[in-house]
Amino acid sequence: MPSLDPRTLQAAIVDLDGTMVDTLGDFVVALHRMLADLALPPVDRAFVERTIGKGSEHLLRQTLAHAGGRPEQFDAAWARYQAHYLAINGEHATVFPGVAEGLQRLREAGLRLACLTNKPLAFARPLLAAKGLDGYFGAVFGGDSFERKKPDPLPLLKTCEVLGTPPARTLMLGDSANDAQAARAAGCPVVLVTYGYNHGEPVRGVDADGFVDRLDQLPLAR
Ligand SMILES: O=C(O)COP(=O)(O)O
Ligand SMILES: [Mg+2]
């Protein structure tokens, strides 16, 4: 990967699930409690891992179908899921190695930081706070903050507007094809981490400008 020059980069937009925090355990517990409430069987962890990334509505619709539920159960599933997720938010989740150090280095390089996730904002804010990551970000946006979610470029373009930085100078850091497609369409450079959730596909097959094994391994030129 060519080194990322902080003289040309002005900001970074950072994804949450699979990039900063390993939240698979939270998703699995909240979904299983919701399914139990609806008298439906649990789904396996691998199914949850490959279905995360396109927001909670998508995850719930796919999970209901996979567990043998009916589409009409969506509203009940959503209410139960939201209550369960908020009750355990962060308890079965850990910050990936190198994240705090990586964010610190980006800040020291003079970049403005925003968090942009497809997770509902009401889940994202308390999770960042519980994991001690909220202080790095001047802005935090969720899957319900804008009219459309990643992989649509709109949330990235809106986030760039708030940051006050041109997309070409705003680096997207993510873990999935969603993040990369949104970044390409918005005109943002994009680097993906190799350890997150990419819809069950090898992340190195995604069109991105580079890959890192840890966020503190971003090759920032000095
Ligand atoms: O909630 C999701 O579907 C995943 O959200 P992300 O955009 O932080 O990866
Ligand atoms: Mg992600």
112-142 pLDDT per residue, tens:
999 999 999 999 999 999 999 999 999 999 9
Inter-residue contact 127 to 21 (CB < 8 Å): yes
Inter-residue contact 198 to 15 (CB < 8 Å): no
pLDDT at 65: 97
- In this structure, are 99 and 127 located in the same domain? yes
- In this structure, are 18 and 30 located in the same domain? no
- Domain interval for residue 187: 11-22+93-217
How is residue 208 annotated by DSSP? -
Catalytic status, residue 179? no
| Structural domain includes residue 37 | yes
pLDDT at 140: 98
- In this structure, are 97 and 190 located in the same domain? yes
| Structural domain includes residue 118 | yes
Q: Which residues line ligand 1 (CB under 6 A)?
A: 15-18, 52-56, 59, 117-119
**How many Å apart are CA 84 and CA 156, to the nearest integer?**
29
The total number of structural domains in the chain stands at 2
- In this structure, are 62 and 110 located in the same domain? no
Residue that finishes a domain, picked among 33, 65, 88: 88
Mean pLDDT of 190-199: 97
- In this structure, are 105 and 183 located in the same domain? yes
- In this structure, are 113 and 159 located in the same domain? yes
pLDDT at 3: 67
pLDDT at 221: 74
**Could you list which residues have their CB under 5 Å from ion ligand 2?**
15, 17-18, 175
Would the annotation count 17 as a binding residue? Answer: yes
- In this structure, are 31 and 74 located in the same domain? yes
How is residue 203 annotated by DSSP? G
pLDDT at 4: 78
- In this structure, are 36 and 112 located in the same domain? no
User: Parallel, antiparallel, or unpaired for β 94-95 and 21-22?
Assistant: antiparallel
- In this structure, are 36 and 129 located in the same domain? no
User: Which residue has the CA at smallest separation from atom 4 of ligand 1?
Assistant: 53
**How many Å apart are CA 128 and CA 137, to the nearest integer?**
10
User: 18-67, pLDDT tens digit by residue?
Assistant: 999 999 999 999 999 999 999 999 999 999 999 999 999 999 999 999 99
| Structural domain includes residue 55 | yes
Which pair of structure tokens corresponds to residue 39?
């008298």
Query: Which of 15, 22, 49, 140 for mutating ligand 1's site (highest number of atoms within 8 Å of CB)?
Result: 15
Return the exposure string of 13-27: e unless at least 16 CB atoms fall within 10 Å of the residue's CB, then b.
bbbbbbbbbbbbbbb
Mean pLDDT of 74-98: 98
Residue that finishes a domain, picked among 71, 88, 105: 88
Q: ipTM strictly over 0.95?
A: yes
Q: Which of 5, 15, 26, 209 is catalytic?
A: 15
- In this structure, are 51 and 158 located in the same domain? no
Residue 193 Cα to ligand 2 midpoint, Å, equals 10
